[in-house]
Chain A
Amino acid sequence: RKEVEQDPGPFNVPEGATVAFNCTYSNSASQSFFWYRQDCRKEPKLLMSVYSSGNEDGRFTAQLNRASQYISLLIRDSKLSDSATYLCVPSRSNDYKLSFGAGTTVTVRA
């Protein structure tokens, strides 16, 4: 089983809509999580870090479900600029390597 699994999408949503997608992880020792966004042909950029049950930053909300071993990302009031691939990354304190999910692609249309 892969360490990180993400629905590749694409999720096609109109501007202003809410979109949410999940990331499942296999290692129960994962303690913190990162969401990165990656635009086409660009480097991944850190969107949000989650160190407890969740985090919220403006229109973006991450929610962690440790019992079922998944983390979700919700985007409210979608903007055209939110179109990107979102990468989920679990992290363990005693491991300096990260395993990246293959990403979920979101396309926001006018």
Chain B
Amino acid sequence: DTEVTQTPKHLVMGMTNKKSLKCEQHMGHRAMYWYKQKAKKPPELMFVYSYEKLSINESVPSRFSPECPNSSLLNLHLHALQPEDSALYLCASAVDPTYEQYFGPGTRLTVT
């Protein structure tokens, strides 16, 4: 089973809203990732968690706040987003940071 699940599938939020994206995997993977993807572009790395600790923050604005409550779950908390933050947000996981990454189906976020 190489499944990464993400909820919600779609999200529309205003610039003053607070919302959260959720990612889950039950493969025992110890590395989890958040990516942002614009149409027809490759994914851009935002955050990496390795063994539940934040190991990489790619200079992401503080309006995006990641959280890893346990080894199976990864959240991305959103607050005061801008319209240019509208994108497909992808979660991925790997056995550890040296192994191949498996992506979830993504959350399509629209900021109005």
Q: Do A and B come from one complex?
A: no
Q: Could you list which residues of chain B lie within 8 angstroms of chain A, going by C-beta atoms?
A: none
Chain A positions near chain B (C-beta within 8 angstroms): none
